[in-house]
Amino acid sequence: LREPGLNLRVVQLFRDPRAVHNSRLKARQALLRESIQVLRSRHRAEPRGPPRHQQQPQQLLLPPGLLGGGRAPQPQHRAEFFLGGALEVICQAWLRDMLLARRAPAWLRRRYTQLRYEDLVREPRAQLRRLLRFAGLSVPPALEAFVLNMTRGAAYSSDRPFLISARDAREAIHAWRERLSRQQVRQVEDACGEAMSLLAY
């Protein structure tokens, strides 16, 4: 970031953690190994003492009725167990990033910006222009047309994970409201509340 020859800029993309959890649940088996790696990263990133902003010990996000009497998760719930824990680690990392960016010197803040997925979906042209202006780039008409097509396609989405296609991404913003149980929503909000508050979720 300090190297003038690189002119490096950082764009950090965020998404409502409830929607993230919903998407990750749809792809739970495909993300099992990644979730375990994320959970392992918690031990490398954790400071020796509890962070100042954290008052209570962290709890893994658990699906309803997953555990009983301190037993290990049942095999059929193993993927969801790791997915929930990984999301919590991701939210903690988001929070650290945002607090770091807020306390950063002006020269660093000028090279860093945030983007919420929901803002990109609702205002694809405006957000694309904002990002390219931040990067010092022009907006080619073909790129603007591509972004509009990818967020305003005719279909909603596929249940196949990681399939990139044109779709009406506005529907994806609120899909979690129909698919997550109240308990799952509450667990995500409890685990990710501080980050969600800073991101105005």
Q: Can you give the pLDDT at residue 199?
A: 97
pLDDT at residue 60, as a whole number:
47
Neighbours of 6 (CB within 10 A): 8
Name which of 68, 75, 60, 102 is nearest 195 in CA terms.
102
* Phi-psi sector, 157: left (phi>0), alpha (psi -120 to 50), beta: beta
More confident: 83 or 25: 25
Inter-helix orientation angle 17-26/182-198, to 10° = 130
pLDDT in tens, 59-94: 445 444 433 344 555 554 666 777 778 889 999 999
Residue 12: both structure tokens together: 């950090």
What does pTM read for this prediction? 0.76
**Backbone phi, psi, residue 148, to 5°:** -65, -45
Q: Is the pLDDT of residue 132 over 90?
A: yes
Q: How many of the other CB atoms lie within 10 Å of CB of 47? A: 6
- Is residue 199 within 8 A of residue 192, CB to CB? The reply is no
Burial code (b: 16+ CB inside 10 Å, e: under 16) for 29-41 equals: eebbeebbebbee
pLDDT at residue 5, as a whole number: 85
Domain boundaries, the chain: 10-43+76-199
Gap between the Cα atoms of 169 and 171, Å rounded: 5
Report pLDDT digits (tens) over 175-189: 899 999 999 999 999
d(CA 136, CA 7): 10
Residue 13 has pLDDT above 60, yes or no: yes
